[in-house]
């Protein structure tokens, strides 16, 4: 008597159905790795030589040249390259910490340690009876792309109670390549730690075919591209909100003011949209600063992208009032 033909299980059928797809993707993955994809385009211009960087650690009132206006200013940093006000990495028992995130505008480019907006914010809050330590997480040239890397590398260790997302000025800056594109083209994979898919070149290659802006330079006739495109900016805001929640910190948004808002307007509008979506409080002193700059000098005349000591103080005064009135500080 002949034996009946053995039936294939549903799992076996699925395995055989997927096998060609696995072979194709496996072959493409091997090819991409073997070919060294992505290749650096000839004549590529990056705004930084390295995708990730940090200010020198353990500076003590180091004289720093202010290239835009001449002269210098004094900078002190801790072991992680974070600027004064200096505090231990480990939060003391009972301490309440506010962390300010941003680029050179938050760092305090052009002013001495005690004159940056984070330093003034700490002083103003403590003078008002609040016991607060402000961690200056601003780094010159940073966007929210680098900020996420720095959070994992160092910022989370400071255990903030409030996180102020102030990435705006550099995120909006128009360049030839986005920050993520530069990271990919220079084979700097630090940002690939997000999930397993981001470790697969096949996945990245498919994404690049869908959105060529990530690896293909925008021609000058197209006007360039923001360092952080709007859609990625939204992703980064959501990521920081989730990271803040994970460490038990309250999250807020900050639209750093410029003498002329100009190219930041689209990203600034997105900050306000994100405030409603999350929801998260937002402090945007741009209208007030615009009004006051008509009669006051709040930015360096030779470097209008950075507030001077008086401008940093105005920003800190407004931020302190906002934090207190919204119940964000004790």
pTM of the predicted protein model? 0.82
Band (pLDDT 50/70/90 cuts) for residue 7 is low
The average pLDDT across 195-224 equals: 53
pLDDT for residue 183: 82
- Contact present, 228 and 179 (Cβ < 8 Å): yes
* CATH superfamily label, 67-173+227-325: SGNH hydrolase (3.40.50.1110)
Which pLDDT tens digit goes with each residue over 216-240?
A: 444 333 557 899 999 999 999 999 9
- CB 243, CB 319: distance < 8 Å: no
User: Which position has the token pair 């790795």?
Assistant: 33
Domain boundaries, the chain: 67-173+227-325
The Cα 38–Cα 183 span in angstroms is 11
pLDDT in tens, 105-141: 999 999 999 999 999 999 999 999 999 999 999 999 9
Q: Phi and psi at residue 53, in whole multiples of 5°? A: -155, 170
User: How many DSSP H helices and E strands does the chain contain?
Assistant: 11, 11
Sequence-separated (6 or more) residues with CB below 8 Å from residue 161: 96, 97, 98, 248, 249, 250
């Amino acid at each position: 008597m002949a034996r009946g033909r053995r039936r294939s299980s549903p799992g076996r059928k699925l395995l055989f159905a997927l096998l060609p797809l696995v072979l194709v993707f496996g072959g493409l993955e091997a090819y991409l790795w073997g070919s060294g994809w992505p290749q650096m385009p000839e004549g590529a211009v990056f705004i930084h030589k390295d995708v990730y960087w940090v200010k020198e650690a353990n500076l003590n009132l180091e004289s720093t040249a202010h290239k835009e206006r001449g002269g210098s200013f004094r900078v002190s940093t801790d072991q992680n390259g974070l600027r004064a006000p200096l505090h231990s990495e480990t939060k003391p028992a009972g301490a309440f910490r506010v962390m300010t995130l941003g680029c050179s505008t938050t760092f305090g480019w052009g002013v001495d340690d005690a004159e940056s907006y984070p330093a003034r914010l700490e002083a103003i809050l403590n003078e008002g009876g609040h016991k607060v330590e402000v961690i200056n997480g601003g780094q010159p040239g940073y966007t929210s792309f680098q900020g996420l890397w720095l959070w994992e590398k160092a910022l989370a260790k400071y255990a903030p109670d409030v996180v102020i997302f102030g990435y705006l000025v550099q995120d909006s800056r128009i360049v030839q390549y986005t920050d993520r594109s530069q990271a990919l083209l220079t084979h700097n994979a630090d940002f690939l730690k997000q999930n397993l898919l981001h470790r697969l070149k096949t996945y990245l290659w498919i994404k690049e075919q869908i959105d060529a802006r990530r690896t293909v330079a925008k021609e000058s006739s197209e006007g360039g591209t923001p360092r952080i495109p709007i859609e990625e900016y939204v992703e980064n805001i959501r990521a920081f909100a989730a990271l803040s929640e994970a460490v038990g910190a309250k999250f807020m948004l900050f639209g750093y003011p410029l003498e002329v808002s100009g190219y930041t307007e689209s990203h600034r509008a997105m900050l306000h949209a994100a405030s409603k979506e999350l929801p998260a409080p937002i402090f945007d002193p741009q209208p007030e600063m615009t009004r006051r700059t008509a009669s006051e000098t709040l930015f360096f005349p030779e470097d209008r992208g950075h507030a001077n000591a008086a401008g940093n103080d105005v920003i800190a005064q407004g931020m302190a009032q906002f934090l207190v009135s919204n119940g964000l500080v004790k």
